[in-house]
Chain A
Amino acid sequence: DAGVIQSPRHEVTEMGQEVTLRCKPISGHDYLFWYRQTMMRGLELLIYFNNNVPIDDSGMPEDRFSAKMPNASFSTLKIQPSEPRDSAVYFCASSLWSQSYEQYFGPGTRLTVT
């Protein structure tokens, strides 16, 4: 398996622009997680899905952030409008309940908002 795939790997955008991050989980996994990592706040869980349904979005910082999972093989995290404080590395991870929920992480998207 190719593992969790994220795109783009790097994104530089100007404040106010819309940003869309993409994730393809490992085939067959039934959980998908979005994390944000910064030096100041460490690794934060933003939202997670089970069988394409959002279960807990309490970590989503503001209404500017939204996430969707239209099918089992694709998810997006959108920021609109983006702000400099959104600059971070965003990770997607997937897991399977029958494998004790161990999460497999993608390589991350490094977002820079100027």
Chain B
Amino acid sequence: AQSVTQLGSHVSVSEGALVLLRCNYSSSVPPYLFWYVQYPNQGLQLLLKYTTGATLVKGINGFEAEFKKSETSFHLTKPSAHMSDAAEYFCAVLMTGNQFYFGTGTSLTVIP
């Protein structure tokens, strides 16, 4: 069973436009949720995470994500895209039992 699903393997936005990258998870128990970014020829680095508490979490580079339990979603947003945001983005979940799952990734292209 797929534990985390990223809708859209490729997303293109214009510079200055809203960025929305979608992530849904399958779990009856709220997991820990993460977004990672991977720039070309580099490892993954953490953008933000949700564990408990406030459902709207802010990360680096102006990104934020909101945990919505009713929708089992953790979508990543940024109000205004910058050229430097072009990268691969991965959603990840940590389930009970220390099972860690990554999504298949979404490649973000920013059009000047």
Q: A residues touching B (Cβ–Cβ < 8 Å)?
A: 4, 31, 33, 42-43, 45, 48, 50, 55, 91, 93, 100-108
Contact = CB atoms under 8 A, between A and B. Distances in A.
19 contacts: A4-B43, A43-B90, A43-B102, A43-B104, A48-B100, A93-B44, A100-B32, A100-B94, A101-B100, A102-B46, A102-B49, A103-B34, A103-B92, A103-B100, A105-B36, A105-B44, A107-B43, A108-B42, A108-B43
Interface of B: 32, 34, 36, 42-46, 49, 51, 90, 92, 94, 98, 100, 102, 104-105
Given A33-B100, A45-B100, A102-B49, A91 B44 contact: yes
Given A100-B32, A102-B34, A102-B49, A42 B104 contact: yes
A91 B98 CA distance: 19
Contacts, number: 46
Q: Is the interface of B mostly helix, strand, loop or mixed?
A: strand
B93 to A, nearest CB: 11
Given A100-B49, A100-B51, A55 B98 contact: yes
A33 B100 CA distance: 10
A75 B44 CA distance: 19
